[in-house]
Amino acid sequence: MQSVATESHSEQLWNRRYDENVGEVNRLLDTLGEARPDMQVPYVDPIHDVDECRIISLYSNVGTADESGFITAGDPQASTRLLGVHWQLGLRPSYVMPWNVHPWFTPGEPNGRLTAPQIEAGLRPLVKLLALVPRASALVAHGTEAHRLADQLAKAQSHTLYKRGFGIYKVKSPGGRSFAGSPERQEQWLLEIAKAYAESMTRCGVPVKGR
């Protein structure tokens, strides 16, 4: 008797990318892709949640797009490090919304160091994302490009961010060459990342594990 084929976990996630909890965000990403049909735009994984989102994780998306088709923190090591930080703090994925500084990738090619125009092009999409996650009141910017876009956001949306009690935190990218260093330095960088997320959680009213 022939067994019935079942969807893999990755296929299940892909088929749920328009679920109610992330559909609005992924349709926004669709519009960004339609505006540049020669480019690839990764989606937000359905483990995240528009209504529950309190913190935006902004990634300096230098390198290649993940094969999953979803936004990640970077290479597998970066994702593992960041998941470890979130687990230690008790930060659930539904409270976090991942986003890329420059939402677009050239298919089959890695993004190099993002240029000023590429970073600037990411401002309007980020502002649109903020409108979709009204309960978010913190942004953690990972890496130099994310720091620069966060500065542009603070300047362009200062009144809106003030009304929302919005906080911006700048930390290292958790992977790639930017995280290259001795074990001691890497540990210090992880502590700084954890501190930024813990402060973001406190700002947003999300309890931090063990506190």
DSSP 3-state percent helix, strand, coil across the chain (nearest 5): 45, 10, 40
Query: Which of the residues in the chain have pLDDT under 70?
Result: 1-6
Based on C-alpha coordinates, what's the Rg of the chain?
17
Per-residue model confidence as pLDDT tens digits over 6-62:
678 888 999 999 999 999 999 999 999 999 999 999 999 999 999 999 999 999 999
Q: Looking at residue 5, what is its pLDDT?
A: 52
Strand arrangement, sheet containing 138-142: 96-100, 55-59, 138-142, 167-171
Q: Looking at residue 1, what is its pLDDT?
A: 42
Q: Looking at residue 4, what is its pLDDT?
A: 46
The alpha carbon torsion through 109, 60, 77, 27 (nearest 10 deg) reads -80
DSSP 114-171: PPHHHHHHTHHHHHHHHHH-TT--EEEEESHHHHHHHHHHHHHTHHHHHHTT-EEEEE
Q: Looking at residue 3, what is its pLDDT?
A: 46
Q: Looking at residue 151, what is its pLDDT?
A: 98
DSSP 95-106: GEEEEESS--B-
